[in-house]
Structure 1
Amino acid sequence: MKPTPTIFLLCIILVFSLVNCSSAQEPPFLQYKNDEWVNQQLEKMSLDERIAQLMMITVYPKQNDAAKAIFRKRIQDWKPGGILVMQGSPTKNADWINQFQEASETPLLVAIDGEWGPAMRTDSTIVYPYAQSLGAVQDTSLLYQMGQDFASQLKRMGIQMNFAPVADINTNPFNPVIGFRSFGEQKHNVAEKSWMVAKGMQDNNVIPVAKHFPGHGDTKTDSHKTLPLIPHSKSRIDSIESYPFRYLSDKGIAGIMSGHLNVPSLDNSGITSSLSKKIITNYLKDEIGFKGFVVTDAITMKGVQTTAGRAELEALIAGNDMIEFVDDAGKAVATIKAAIANGEITENEINEKCRTVLALKRWVGLNNYQAVDLKNITADLNAPEYQVTNRKLIKKSMTVVVNNDSTLPVQDLEKRNIATIMIGGNQKSIFQNTLEKYSGMDHFWLPKDATEKTWANLRQKLDNYNFVIAGITGINKYSSNEYGISEIQKQAVIDLVHEQNVVFTLFGNAYALKHFANIHHADALIVAHQDNELTQELAAQLVFGAFKANGKLPVTSDRRFKAGDGLEIASNQTFSYTIPEEAGMSSAILNRKIDSLANLGISEGAYPGCQVLVAKDGKVVFHKCYGFQTYDSIYPVNRDNIYDWASVTKVTGPLPAIMRLVDERKMNVDDKFSKYWPDFIGSNKENLSFREILAHQARLASWIPFWTMTVQADGTLDKNVFKDHPSPLYDIRVSERLCMNHDFKKTMFDTIRTSNLLPRKRYLYSGLSFYLYPDIIENLTGTPYESYVKISFYRPLGAHTITFNAYKHFPLSQIIPTETDDFFRMEKLRGYVHDEGAAMMGGVSGNAGLFGSTNDLAKVFQMYLQKGYFGGRRYISDLTLNEFTRIQYPENKNRRGLGFDKPLIDNYKNKLEDAYPAVSSSKSSFGHSGYTGTFAWADPENRLLYIFMSNRVYPTRNNSKLYELNIRTAMHQAIYDSIISE
């Protein structure tokens, strides 16, 4: 007999019903409802004690020992099932928890409000992003990781339950209590994000409690102060407000918190939802099918409206398993016990709820309770791996909603005269400090209470710039008073949009966008969602393309900015600035070893101070300054200091230009050098190979002390060559008090031309050809050498501090001094090149002469490390970079590349003291050192960059301790040692 269509349809419905039922997961703690430990605890408890297990009292570790004694006595007398921990420090919280657990016969279930991590209630811990920020994140695996972080951190303090996540859908922009605490206004987004955070905790045996059922998102009032109304129909609540809770219930979340709300469509009696059996039992448990643990929101809130002394009882009757924030648990127990006697609630119901609480305790391991170890607890709670999660979440939350003409990421830096302004700030901000790592710029700020005259004066100053990067700060979290936005802030935005090429970053609630009339006409607009130091730092990095942005607005501000809006911005391979762990390195090892070596050099007198920068995978993970500019210990070394790079100039001045010219086929390294320097024709150098000269095996002499050619018999300098003041003939300034006859440059070139050659080809480092490259480069490009390298490389790279003759461009106090010259220039050198030969070239040479900051030197070398590409631009082809950075003549035991230094042949076989550079550096690595104590090294195989800056020649070059102590190589090896094996 064939089935009839009706029977067939019923079968299909039954199958779908079974599938649907089987898809719902049960909370994991339910497996312990009949556990032996649970049964034992239940059997030994009196009725009073079983009732008390359903109470959670609140403790405040921020308070004094007298308060602690009161809380301890309450625990001993009332025997509550749990405690809610409010304000305190990590150590004090954990210490109090330990003492309270000791005072309790049955282990306490310890809870906290940790919506953005323990920091919501615990100081000195990581503040993770608010839920609204996380609503913008598209990679939900990061929210799962955050949930795992929460679990690990809470357990470290002895906490087993987190009253989070907030699963309310914030459909009301004027909500006075939820707002930024919600993942947004889109139900699927809220539900999924809530579950990923909850799952991260639950998979690590911490109890997540989603709140505030049936949904607090569309309220005009705050349930802390009154009873809010949810005026919607049941169908609307089914579809919107309760949707995330249904989703979480199906996923098997352990806990849900009942909110204090008036929901007439679910219960028209006017009773608050947390005390309504229709809402908690009939709707949440029976209709939705939630099988987990239900706890009330704080029972002391004004939204709880019932007969005095009956709130706890009515909460249990409604279907809650536990009551939070009980003021007088003794009185509540007595009331409930009396209600059992008069039949309002049964003892079996109490027993079942108690069994639920005990099962939770068994699931989180309280059956084998151990006190928390207080040692290093604050450091553990701020461990680098947690910081990495936080940084990733903030980066992924960044939301670009305007990007006209692909303004972001900001590039073409050589064309931009940049000003920054903090609209609502009263001093230079972290945002601005980070922005200036990418290029030269000037900074301004406009306080929230600034006058129109102040703004008018500032507008005049901004007229001198062609590009403005503006941060909008001082935005309140809640909607009252237009998020605290002042009229001058609104006007500043209007005027900047009209008058400037401007990029805005809003540091604050996305809803606040509605109050800026024409901000959508800006060149670019980033919503950073929050306003703290880390958010400002990362937003600045996004402006210049340090990482990809793909955040989406979680809420609708107005018709211009709607939920789901967000543009994708690609990274352009500029630097990002982060912590070592984000690049797979150990900050503990880096700090310990590099600090030790740097301080060793200072204590041993190898240098008065130094800087160390480390980058991996394009991420600057370490940049620290040590010591002072000089041995008098007055001016500390800082990141803005300008150094004399000495011979590092060779690979950052003429060499990038030569590589560019090779790419343009204006040079060929297999030509004779005399093709580019015709003066060698007819000399013993006519047939020298350009390649061999760059590889330092063309038989050229190592160096020529040109200045000694001008010393007369009486030891004084020839007055036909040098004067103590400039003139049209003596216009080459060698130092502050010494000027050279420009005709002597020809003598220097002639001396190079006629110098002897070595008898055979072998490796001998020679700087002679580097005196000639500036003129060669100018002849081939038609642009003066200094202008060419600045226009072609330094300015587009944003390396604005790199220059010759630093004394012309920077305050002397910013420039690190080198030597007190007591044999040639007879003065302390500061801002004038240390190398005598480069000085006699007027400070503009190829062998030495460049000055700059550590960060800007790193940009040049990172460009090399990335095969000629940096910040959205290709400077040199990868083929050319590969050619110049490979060993040219290994058969001749010459380790050199073309211009670049390379590791010793078979360096990896050496002991550390015999290695150059680090033993672990790859064969593909390259770099250069400088006589003044500078060093730069790039390793493409390990994607690693190391910069060391010092003035080891201060006050005299007769100090070789930097080499004797092997500090630079030892540091370099320490960097490799810090890489965490995968």
Structure 2
Amino acid sequence: MACALPPNPAPRTQYPETISHLTLEEKIAQMVMVRIRGDYYSSEHWYRKKLQKYLSVDGIGGVISFGGSIHGSYYNIQQFQKWAKYPLLVAADYERGLGQWMGGGTLFPSNMAMAATGDSSLAYDQGRITAVEARALGVHITFSPVMDINNNPDNPIINFRAYSDNAETVSKFGTEFIRGVQDNGLVACAKHFPGHGNTSTDSHSSLPSIAGSKTELMNLELKPFKAAINADVEMMMAGHIALPGLDGSGIPASHSHAISTELLRNELGFDGIIVTDGMEMGGLTKSAWAGESAVRAIEAGADILLLPMDVEQTLKSVLSAVKSGRINEKRINQSVQRIWKMKSKMGLLNGAAQIPFSELETIIGKTENTAKAKEIAQKSITIVKDENHQLPLIPEKIDSLAHLILSLDEGAGGYLKSLSRDLNKTHGSVAEMLINNPLSKLGRKDILNQLKGVDQILVSLVVRIRMDKGIASIDSTHSLLLSELRQLDIPIVTVSYGSPYLPDYDLLETYVCAYGYGSVSVQAVSEAIWGRVKVDGKLPVSLTPQLDRGFGIPKKKRFNDWGEVQQVEFLNAWSVIDSAIENRIFPGAQVAVVHKGKLIASRGFGRHTYDNSSPPVKQESIYDIASLTKVLSATPITMKLIAQKKLSLEHTVQQFYPQFTGNGKEDITIRHLLTHSSGLPGYYQFFLDDQISTKEDVLDYILNVKLHSEPGSHYEYSDLGFILLTSIIEKVANRSIDRLAHSYFFGPLGMHHTRYNPPLEWKRKVAPTEIDSIYRNRLIHGEVHDENTHLMGGVSGHAGVFSTAKEIARYAQMLVDGGIWEGRRILKKSQIQEFTKVQHIPQDSDLALGWDTPSQSGKSIAGDYFTPGSFGHLGFTGTSLWIDPNKEIIIVLLTNRVHPSRKGDEGSKEMYG
């Protein structure tokens, strides 16, 4: 079973709306649910054979799906429906969505994380998405939400699966989830009635007992379940929990007539289906064997027996109990009628077919679903303590970072894999230590010695809540280590993934709760600790009297979009620009000035053209930045490819184009192209050559052109060199340079008004350039000014990008910050340093790799005030970017000086590039 491409399901047989046609044996079988997985089973597999008998011979009424894949689950559910004597109710445990069990489905954070957001409408969204995805897969029931109140911090199985330790909070979020589920065609099942929160025992291994009188329990544990009933929940799961205050015999609720029937059905008025918790759990098996346990559950009031230990014996024992008169057949009929009614509601009796797999692919795991899960996770992150204001961490100010993972779970490192990757990518080099065993005194001492001397420690605590573990907090020896770490006098940020409860919160100077170790929560922690997102989660449970429910330390997003500009008035500089406009050097200009990470000036001058009706230049005006393209596109993309080991500065062009030979061409390297020392001619009017009409023609010309000088011997600013570099980039990356620029830089940096070939709707914001009289014979407006780039479709590494001064300043700030933007590493700091230092190729050249630097002799195009180590570039249309990393100053000037014509400025080609 489970093939790669499931077939389209065929319509099924129609069935009567009543149960009169069912035999007693078939009715009993309808009350049983067995386990399935979305895995492949060969025709000889023992469980396949057993399952086929359960469904086709015994007539089992339902299945519960665990794990596997989307493909396998879809195919198997269809196959099992075909095997089944009667249509199957298919259930699954989707507390955190389909992604909890199978890759590709949407994975949500835990319920406790959900409540930490403070927004119950998000619980509705989770229910809605879960329902839509589950129904597409062929599932009818989700055994969720958990309506238990986690009012015992030592609870080893509910814990962060509960919304809160407060009845009203659990009720509010749980009922919203129920509505979201059932409004969208899936059955919700509230569990674990009448409440599994106030215990330190896991019912998977033993029978928990919850103290309290009936009045006390009604006013606390039972409140969320009453709310669920009022929200019309269609199914309720009876827990394997003893509540002497409700049934003095001390038997499990799932075996108690007083609890399941007298209280739930009669007193609370629940008329839906009652399903037991798993019959294989230790909370039951220690008190009765499989057959007797099933009989007792039905006597108590259960309609569905979930996962009986022995299916055959269960069926036989219940049949025997009916025939002996211990159970009245009317009691069986009541349950089966409820089950049959639900099957009818789900369309199972009228032959409704499952949707085709091609349609399922457009539903499960789609972007808007995963985005909602990500939103919930980000809003849930809670900063509980931050005594020394460590958060957010600033990677460029941390020289050495250690990541210490403490857990008793062998898979802890795997859960945090995305965090580890992000730490290394953002910081550059992180020493990681994984401890998943108790520590001796010597072991703790060894760890302390290894951590001495680091600048910052991040401690990740992974407490996994799962059956038969009996763990609700960190190991005692790990707690001792946390105490000893404080003595190192090193800043420590501690994050808990899973249980938020710790033995001693005084050990922690900074404490963050994620309430889970699912990938969506782990990724949200990365966003939070680096300050990429606002943090505003609130504790949904009480940790101490001081760290009480509702407490949380808010943190603003560390980075903003420079929406609030200080607007320092550089009056002398502004007068120079105003004078240039008055003297018709350019019709308008746009300036951005950044100092120490703050945008201190961002404004426009003049108009798009000299026409008084032309739009005024604003911060949002867009300019053709000409050769600034070289340093915003081709150069940084080269850096990326070098970091990916796809390219090297010492690679020769001939490696990519073997025909590039003769006249010393075989010695030209990527380094030569970036330093304009390749010997290639600087410029050629391809657009006026009748023999050249395509990008391929341009490349062919460059590969065959004669060099002007020996490689490395002379500087000649060369567009041809960057056109050749563009071709190499696209060959190596197997993607066009415009797509690379967007995915590597413009997208991650939020440069939403920076791109090649601006769309038509941008035109009113774009400042026009030249009135072309030799090539296009029209005003160049909204299309690239550079004629050669236009010939090549508007995309090249030497020209073609349009942008704003403010967005170019974003890019420049990333370089000043060592390659980091909003807590994400975009480029390596070491690469930035290498690419922006003078290469001395040839010896008297001031060029870096792709960048220019202030001239050390004579007049400099950078002016007189930029310090050594500064770098920048110019563009022919009248654009300029200069960066002084020492003073943390960025100056961007954009103009359209070529409007209406470049005439009178023939000598500026060398200056502007």
Identity of aligned residues (%): 22
Mapped contact 2:59–2:84 kept (Cα < 8 A) = yes
**2:303 corresponds to which residue?**
321
Mapped contact 2:243–2:250 kept (Cα < 8 A) = yes
Distance 1:295 1:144, change over 3 A: same
- Which of 672, 675, 689 aligns to 1:834? It is 675
**1:18 corresponds to which residue?**
none
Mapped contact 2:117–2:379 kept (Cα < 8 A) = yes
Distance 1:272 1:843, change over 3 A: farther
Q: Deviations over 1:463-496 (max 9, x none)?
A: xx4xx36241444436856745474675367536
Residue type of the alignment partner of 2:31: L
**1:905 corresponds to which residue?**
781
Matched, 1:667 2:649: no
Distance 1:61 1:69, change over 3 A: farther
Mapped contact 1:421–1:470 kept (Cα < 8 A) = yes
Mapped contact 1:61–1:93 kept (Cα < 8 A) = yes
1:132 Cα deviation (Å)?
2.8
**2:460 corresponds to which residue?**
472
Matched, 1:390 2:373: yes
Mapped contact 1:112–1:162 kept (Cα < 8 A) = yes
Matched, 1:514 2:420: no
Residue type of the alignment partner of 1:236: E
Distance 1:841 1:501 in 2: 52
- The equivalences for 1:810-829 within 5 A come to 827-829=668-670
Mapped contact 2:383–2:552 kept (Cα < 8 A) = yes
Matched, 1:220 2:200: yes
Distance 1:505 1:165 in 2: 26
Residue type of the alignment partner of 1:444: A
1:765 Cα deviation (Å)?
9.6
1:60 Cα deviation (Å)?
4.6
Mapped contact 2:116–2:540 kept (Cα < 8 A) = yes
Distance 1:863 1:44, change over 3 A: closer
Distance 1:859 1:93 in 2: 36
- The equivalences for 1:144-543 within 5 A come to 144-304=124-284, 305-306=287-288, 309-328=291-310, 331-367=313-349, 368-371=351-354, 373-374=356-357, 381-404=364-387, 407-410=390-393, 416-424=397-405, 430-435=418-423, 442-448=429-435, 451-452=443-444, 454-462=446-454, 465=455, 468=456, 470-477=458-465, 480=470, 483-485=473-475, 487=477, 491=481, 495=485, 499-511=489-501, 513-515=502-504, 517-519=506-508, 521-522=509-510, 525-543=511-529
- Structure 2 residue runs without a partner (length 5+): 1-13, 407-412, 592-622, 655-662, 683-711, 727-739, 755-763, 774-778, 815-825, 828-834, 836-849, 851-913
Residue type of the alignment partner of 2:23: S
Look up the SS of the partner of 1:198 in the other structure. Answer: helix
- The equivalences for 1:551-570 within 5 A come to 551-559=537-545, 561-570=547-556
1:332 Cα deviation (Å)?
4.1
Distance 1:829 1:43, change over 3 A: closer
Mapped contact 1:907–1:916 kept (Cα < 8 A) = no
Distance 1:267 1:856, change over 3 A: same
Q: Deviations over 1:264-291 (max 9, x none)?
A: 1111123221121111111111222212
Mapped contact 1:907–1:915 kept (Cα < 8 A) = no
**2:24 corresponds to which residue?**
47
1:68 Cα deviation (Å)?
1.2
Look up the SS of the partner of 2:574 in the other structure. Answer: coil
**2:76 corresponds to which residue?**
96
Distance 1:459 1:315, change over 3 A: closer
Distance 1:694 1:500, change over 3 A: same
1:43 Cα deviation (Å)?
2.4
Residue type of the alignment partner of 1:495: L
Distance 2:229 2:503 in 1: 36
Residue type of the alignment partner of 2:226: R
**2:597 corresponds to which residue?**
none
Distance 2:747 2:17 in 1: 67
Mapped contact 1:165–1:197 kept (Cα < 8 A) = yes
1:510 Cα deviation (Å)?
0.9
**2:704 corresponds to which residue?**
none
1:202 Cα deviation (Å)?
1.0
Distance 1:121 1:433, change over 3 A: closer
Mapped contact 1:904–1:916 kept (Cα < 8 A) = no
1:401 Cα deviation (Å)?
1.7
Distance 1:469 1:377, change over 3 A: farther
Mapped contact 2:154–2:472 kept (Cα < 8 A) = no
1:217 Cα deviation (Å)?
1.0
**2:897 corresponds to which residue?**
none
Distance 1:672 1:157, change over 3 A: closer
Look up the SS of the partner of 2:571 in the other structure. Answer: coil
Distance 1:664 1:506, change over 3 A: farther
Residue type of the alignment partner of 1:383: K
1:215 Cα deviation (Å)?
0.7
Distance 1:491 1:854, change over 3 A: farther
Look up the SS of the partner of 1:447 in the other structure. Answer: strand
- Count of residues in correspondence between the two structures: 675
Residue type of the alignment partner of 2:571: R
1:859 Cα deviation (Å)?
8.9
Mapped contact 1:806–1:832 kept (Cα < 8 A) = no
Distance 2:627 2:782 in 1: 28
Residue type of the alignment partner of 2:277: D
Look up the SS of the partner of 2:19 in the other structure. Answer: helix
Distance 1:546 1:70, change over 3 A: same
Mapped contact 1:398–1:549 kept (Cα < 8 A) = yes
Residue type of the alignment partner of 2:296: E
Residue type of the alignment partner of 1:443: V
1:384 Cα deviation (Å)?
2.6
Distance 2:149 2:163 in 1: 7
Q: Deviations over 1:554-588 (max 9, x none)?
A: 3333445333222233335559xxxxxxxxxxxxx
Q: Deviations over 1:513-558 (max 9, x none)?
A: 4356421x33xx3222233544333322223333222222233334
Mapped contact 2:461–2:494 kept (Cα < 8 A) = no
Distance 1:177 1:824, change over 3 A: closer
1:423 Cα deviation (Å)?
0.9
Q: Deviations over 1:867-895 (max 9, x none)?
A: xxxxxxxxxxxxxxxxxx965667x7499
Look up the SS of the partner of 2:422 in the other structure. Answer: helix
The TM-score, its normalising length taken from structure 1, stands at 0.58
- Structure 1 residue runs without a partner (length 5+): 1-36, 576-616, 619-658, 676-686, 697-763, 771-793, 867-884, 896-902, 919-928, 952-956, 958-982
- The equivalences for 1:787-866 within 5 A come to 827-830=668-671, 833-835=674-676, 858=746, 862=750
1:54 Cα deviation (Å)?
2.1
1:320 Cα deviation (Å)?
1.9
**2:97 corresponds to which residue?**
117
Mapped contact 1:90–1:378 kept (Cα < 8 A) = no
Residue type of the alignment partner of 2:299: I
CA RMSD, aligned part only? 5.4
Mapped contact 2:146–2:190 kept (Cα < 8 A) = yes
Distance 1:854 1:402, change over 3 A: farther
Mapped contact 2:473–2:503 kept (Cα < 8 A) = no
Mapped contact 2:393–2:530 kept (Cα < 8 A) = yes
Mapped contact 1:510–1:553 kept (Cα < 8 A) = no
Distance 1:282 1:766 in 2: 78
Distance 1:907 1:249, change over 3 A: same
Distance 1:861 1:422, change over 3 A: closer
1:360 Cα deviation (Å)?
0.6
The TM-score, its normalising length taken from structure 2, stands at 0.62
